[in-house]
Amino acid sequence: MKVNLVSDTITKPTAEMLKVMMDAKVGDDMYREDETTIALEQKIAGMFGMEAAMFFPSGTMANQTGIKLHTQPGDQLICDKDAHIFHYESGGVSFNSGVSCRMVDGDRGTIKAHQVAEVINDPNSFHSPMTTLVSLENTANKGGGTCYDFQEILKIREVCDSHNLKLHLDGARLWNALVAKGESTTQYGEVFDSISVCLSKGLGCPVGSVLLGTEEFINRAYRVRKILGGAMRQIGYLTSAGIYALDNNIARLSEDHRRAKELEATLASLPFVKSITPVETNIIIFDLEEGYSNTAFIEALKGYNIFISPMGAKLRMVTHLDYTQEMHEYVLDCLAKLELVTQ
């Protein structure tokens, strides 16, 4: 048995999803003639109670488009120090938008309203960059799949309103947060100016993210997506998978969360595991006691055909749609008997 816990992006479409994709009605989306894509965009906008939505080939492009539309070159945005838009989008915030990131020292990737308020530059001082945007991440990836407290999001919205700032959500794994916290899409739609969500992580699609916002915002997004090279043709073959995933793969995320909690418990019982970031969704981030090497741990698991990856100086496991109960029991067994020697 081979088990891949490197990321929830590694899932492959099931036979049922592939059938839906093969049967999709398609047209040229650059002429807005792909009815499946229009259906996905309308469906997801309706779910969030937002005016409009746009399909993107990646979450990075959806975030970058949102940031570009909310800012002017020279502006500054506020985000957590671990934010994906800062660490893992290859400098796109500065490359595409000419914008700098003012990082906040949050708690496992989530920030507080008072921290936002403290780093907003005085708009009357021409010395400092104009603060125009706040970007939150839910769940926070590098923070260990952490969920925001929704009350804090409401407070951040108030700060944004009183300082004339836009509020963007990098919701690549928002689905996990909704399921873990029993929250609704509409409550998020009411609060954010724009939201990006990923279809190719927990929901199991091969490709795709969606950006949501007002109709005016999404109309402007067409130009930015085109500039970034992301305008596409017969994408109903991909967006049909998105419709299928929204209908079938959201509620089951609770299984991924349960398995992640069980992995956390087993890891916690191992003498060479030092600490684990409290598991809230499908991501487990942990580190090893002094003297044990991450590489040796990864290699030892590889010996059992189990694959995990480092995240910075720590280790990460991610549960997902293709991680079955059978694989899970196998991994728990292997972990329990894992032997690791100090270097």
Ligand X SMILES: *Cc1c(COP(=O)(O)O)cnc(C)c1O
Q: How far is the CB of 42 from ligand X (least distance, A)?
A: 22
Q: How far is the CB of 156 from ligand X (least distance, A)?
A: 17
DSSP secondary structure, 132-150, as one string: EEEEEESSBTTTTSBPPPH
For the chain, the distance separating the N- and C-terminal CA atoms, rounded to the nearest angstrom, is: 29
Q: How far is the CB of 39 from ligand X (least distance, A)?
A: 22
User: Nearer to ligand X by C-beta: 140 or 276?
Assistant: 140
3-state secondary structure 265-291: HHHHCCCCEEEECCCCCCEEEEEECCC
User: Among all residues, whose Cβ is closest to ligand X?
Assistant: 59
User: Nearer to ligand X by C-beta: 109 or 120?
Assistant: 109
d(CA 24, CA 43): 16
Q: What type of residue is 331?
A: V
d(CA 149, CA 132): 23
Binding site for ligand X (CB under 6 A): 58-60, 63, 84, 137, 141, 170, 172, 198, 209
User: Nearer to ligand X by C-beta: 34 or 170?
Assistant: 170
Q: How far is the CB of 305 from ligand X (least distance, A)?
A: 25
Q: How far is the CB of 342 from ligand X (least distance, A)?
A: 33
Structure-token pair, residue 147: 């969920």
User: Nearer to ligand X by C-beta: 132 or 141?
Assistant: 141
User: Nearer to ligand X by C-beta: 70 or 84?
Assistant: 84
Residue 158: count other Cβ atoms within 10 Å of its Cβ: 12
Structure-token pair, residue 74: 């020279």
Contact 250, 285 (CB under 8 A): no
User: Nearer to ligand X by C-beta: 137 or 264?
Assistant: 137
User: Nearer to ligand X by C-beta: 109 or 335?
Assistant: 109
User: Nearer to ligand X by C-beta: 137 or 273?
Assistant: 137
Torsional sign, CA 164, 169, 235, 230: positive
Backbone angles phi, psi at 81, to 5 degrees: -65, -20
Helix axes 236-248, 15-22, angle to 10 degrees: 140
Q: How far is the CB of 28 from ligand X (least distance, A)?
A: 24
d(CA 267, CA 316): 12
DSSP 229: T
Contact 40, 58 (CB under 8 A): no
Q: How far is the CB of 125 from ligand X (least distance, A)?
A: 32
User: Nearer to ligand X by C-beta: 44 or 340?
Assistant: 44
Structure-token pair, residue 174: 């928002």
Q: How far is the CB of 60 from ligand X (least distance, A)?
A: 3
Residue 209: count other Cβ atoms within 10 Å of its Cβ: 24
Q: How far is the CB of 83 from ligand X (least distance, A)?
A: 8
Torsional sign, CA 213, 214, 215, 218: negative
